[in-house]
Amino acid sequence: MTEISETPPTAIGRRTVLIATGATAATLAVAAAVPESPAPTADTTAPVAAAAVCTLTKEMTEGPYYLDGQYVRADIREDKTGIPLKLTLTVVDDDTCAPLGNALVEIWHCDALGEYSGFVGNNGHSEPDNGTFLRGGVLTNSGGVASITTVYPGWYRGRCVHIHLKVHTNVTLTSDGSFTGGQELHTGQLFFDETITTRVAALATYAANTVPRTTLAQDSIYDEGGAASGLLTLTALGSSTSAGYAGTLTVGIETS
């Protein structure tokens, strides 16, 4: 089996991204930028260190599995099995912390068997390939929030569990449900807590993946930077692992 490698870029340029550590930091960052917003509820008023709200980090490699022109849609699962993952990603301007509305947040990732649509078989498993499963994105609302429903990803040879991410502005929506044009402002990756991934990997759907799993600590891309490097804050959706998780992160980008 040929190992798929995603070599980290040697030069990122001057673009950086601001990552906050989950839902609480996201609420504080947006509230600070928009004074007229309603007062936060009691569960969002706990103090948060300033470093957790404004932490700069580099972009990460696009990898070999990106496909242009995917659908604009809030649910990218199609018929893929796996536990639910409900992502809430908040995009803000890194200079002002103001939310960035009407930006397209696009994600793509492998299924439970570690296979990407458009490239099925690269991880050693045979299954139907329509070129679109587990790919797509949505426009952020006026608060900079993009909500996407997918499944918890599996893994493929040489990489830990992750999701790829792009943020575009000024895209044109097309009649076939896709998008075109615009400006790509950010390319990154989202990562998962190793303790939770270990539980997920034990479920039958994921255990069917015959490729050895690479952990966060072993990964060649993730740099142990926590939320500053795209580590999601995960919250259980129920009392069992199979109920799935909610994942949150605030991503700040350069808009000029």
State how far the Cα of 92 lies from the Cα of 105, in Å rounded to an integer: 12
What pLDDT is recorded for position 6?
Answer: 58
Q: Which residues contact 192 (CB under 8 A, 6 or more apart)?
A: 152, 153, 160, 161, 162, 216, 231, 232, 234, 247
pLDDT of residue 177: 97
Tokens (6 digits) for 177: 């449900």
Output the six-digit token pair for 30: 């947006």
Degrees, nearest 5: CA angle 16-164-69:
105
Say whether 149 sits in a helix, a strand or coil: strand
Q: What is the pLDDT of residues 136-185, one digit of tens each?
A: 999 999 999 999 999 999 999 999 999 999 999 999 999 999 999 999 99
**Which residue has tokens 């299924």?**
111
Predicted local distance difference test score (pLDDT) of residue 256: 75
| Structure confidence at residue 119 (pLDDT) | 98
Q: What is the mean pLDDT of the chain?
A: 82
Beta-sheet strands, E only, within 79-191: 84-93, 104-108, 135-139, 145-151, 162-169, 172-173, 179-180, 183-191
Tell which residue, 204, 225, 201, 224, has the closest CA to residue 213. 201
Q: Which of 128, 103, 101, 87 is nearest to 33 (CA)?
A: 101
| Pairwise pLDDT comparison (5 vs 10), residue with the higher score | 5
Spell 147-158 as b/e; 16+ CB within 10 A means b. bbebbbbbbbbb
**Residue 35 falls in which region: left (phi positive, over 0), alpha (psi -120 to 50) or beta:** alpha
DSSP per position, 56-75: EE------S---SS--B-SB
* pLDDT in the model for residue 95: 77
Given a cut of 60, is residue 19 above it in pLDDT?
Answer: no
pLDDT of residue 179: 97
Q: What percent of the chain has pLDDT over 90?
A: 68
pLDDT tens profile 58-116: 589 999 999 999 999 999 999 999 999 999 999 888 878 889 999 999 999 999 999 99
Q: How far apart are CA 145 and CA 66, in angstroms?
A: 23
Structure confidence at residue 50 (pLDDT): 32
pTM of the predicted model as reported, rounded to 2 decimal places? 0.81
Residue-wise pLDDT tens digits, 23-44: 434 443 333 333 343 333 333 3
Q: Are 209 and 113 spatial neighbours (Cβ–Cβ below 8 Å)?
A: yes
Q: Comparing 227 with 133, which gets the higher pLDDT?
A: 133
